Amino acid sequence: MANRTGLIEKDLSFVNTLKTYETCFYKSKDLLLICWKDSKTVFQLTNMGNCEIIDIQRRKKKAQVMLEGDGGNPYETVTMPKVIADYTQYSKGVDLFDQLASYYNVPHRSRRWYIKIIYHMLEIALVNSFVIFKKATNKYPSFLEFRKSIARGLVADARKEKNVAETKTKAEISCLLKLVPSLCRLEKKTPKKTCNICKEKGEERTQSSYWCAKCKVHVCITPCYDAHLSKTKYHKNLKTK
């Protein structure tokens, strides 16, 4: 309490004398400071709520129940401010947000403090929209898939204007460029063969250690691999041979 401003030493000494489940309030304009003594002193500063005191049923600690024996009641009546009771009841939503926001947080390093606040506000909007989406549609995608769909939706118009195709992942690309495996394990060198694209174009033939793992066709890394991907007729002709 030493670093709390607006309180005199008389107030601070009174807070230290609170007994278990006793409460004191301090109000300054629209702010209300609540001091409630549980096993430790709990402080809460709020601009909503009032000085209402309520009784709630709370489960006792395991050690306390064991001391009382089998006939003891596992619940106890606790007198506490309503504001603290409401926070305890609904704080699980705050914990859930912190959990979801920590999975895919956006890394940002900037001396401008307001940039961090902007990213945090965007994260709040994403988490809230994810929760609302699941309740409204009864669909339960992963949070990562939901974020990806939001990102695709935001850049869709810009991609159409610039005529940019959506980037494919490795799993979506049928033809992957790989090193040709050696026929003998003792061979240190990777076998080379003539690039089929260069041969087809009638250009100077280039020896390549890479091939399309699906079509079993040797190709140069550049630019023949791009030409190999774009030529669907070329793939069909290879299958018919």
pLDDT tens digits for range 72-89: 677 888 899 998 888 888
pLDDT band at 181 (very low <50, low <70, confident <90, very high): low
The predicted model scores a pTM of 0.42
Contact in structure between 219 and 228 (CB atoms under 8 Å): yes
Beta carbons within 8 Å of 81's beta carbon, 6+ residues apart: 23, 25, 34, 36, 44, 49, 51, 52, 53, 54
Contact in structure between 36 and 81 (CB atoms under 8 Å): yes
Query: Nearest-5° angle of CA 169, CA 131, CA 85?
Result: 145
Mean pLDDT score of the chain, rounded to an integer? 76
Residue 169 has pLDDT above 70, yes or no: no
pLDDT band at 180 (very low <50, low <70, confident <90, very high): low
- d(C-alpha 198, C-alpha 204), whole Å: 7
Over residues 87-116, the pLDDT tens digits come to 888 777 677 888 888 888 776 777 888 888
Beta carbons within 8 Å of 100's beta carbon, 6+ residues apart: 127, 130, 143
pLDDT at 70: 58
More confident residue, 93 or 2: 93
134: which 2 tokens? 């699941």
Contact in structure between 165 and 230 (CB atoms under 8 Å): no
Q: Helix-strand-coil percent breakdown of the chain, rounded to 5?
A: 45, 20, 40
Across residues 66-75, what is the average pLDDT?
69
pLDDT at 139: 86
pLDDT at 126: 92
Cα maximum dimension of the chain = 96
pLDDT at 157: 80
- Name the least confident of 10-14, 16-20, 56-60: 10-14
Across residues 169-184, what is the average pLDDT?
58
Residue 198 has pLDDT above 50, yes or no: yes
**φ, ψ for residue 138, nearest 5 deg:** 60, 25
Residue 6 has pLDDT above 90, yes or no: no
Residue 135 has pLDDT above 80, yes or no: yes
